[in-house]
């Protein structure tokens, strides 16, 4: 058996104290993720965990007293039906900023309610 990285388990972002309800509204209501229960010892620290229904994509948001949003650093979240997904976000009040600089991908950026940058992308076939 060879050793090495096999998958990305989750991405952790920070959030300010007291932002959990706004995070739930965005990550569940806008993005369509589900909230996962945190282990009790971690739940006492605040924050929220979100995942796709099958759990293959997880985003954890931890509370940070001196919070500053991630403006450059960000998770890149692969989606299907990117135009419909972008429309869903816009209909729920989220900003969508398209970026066409990555060959072989359609992508846009958005921000969660506390200002963290998120990238959403979908591979596309390159044309000759």
Q: What is the mean pLDDT of residues 85-99?
A: 96
Give the pLDDT band of residue 127 (cuts 50, 70, 90). low
Distance CA 10, CA 6 (A): 13
How are strands ordered across the β-sheet holding 58-63? 11-15, 58-63, 48-51, 34-36
What pLDDT does 126 receive? 67
State both tokens at 128.
């000759």
pLDDT averaged over every residue in the chain: 94
Q: Would you state the pLDDT for residue 3?
A: 85
Closest CA to 122 of 88, 94, 89, 81: 81
Cα–Cα distance between 105 and 102 in angstroms, integer? Answer: 6
Structural domains of the chain ordered from first start: 11-123 (3.10.180.10)
């Amino acid at each position: 058996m060879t050793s090495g990285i096999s998958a990305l388990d989750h991405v952790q972002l920070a959030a300010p104290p007291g932002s959990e309800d706004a995070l739930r509204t965005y990550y569940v209501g806008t993005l369509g993720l589900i909230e996962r229960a945190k282990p009790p010892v971690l739940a006492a620290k605040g924050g929220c965990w979100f995942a796709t229904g099958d759990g293959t994509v997880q985003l954890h948001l931890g509370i940070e007293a001196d919070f500053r949003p991630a403006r450059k650093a960000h998770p890149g979240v692969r989606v299907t039906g990117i135009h419909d997904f972008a429309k869903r976000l816009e209909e729920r009040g989220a900003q969508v900023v398209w970026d066409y600089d990555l060959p072989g991908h359609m992508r846009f950026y958005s921000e969660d309610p506390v200002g963290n940058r998120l990238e959403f992308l979908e591979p596309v076939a390159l044309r000759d």
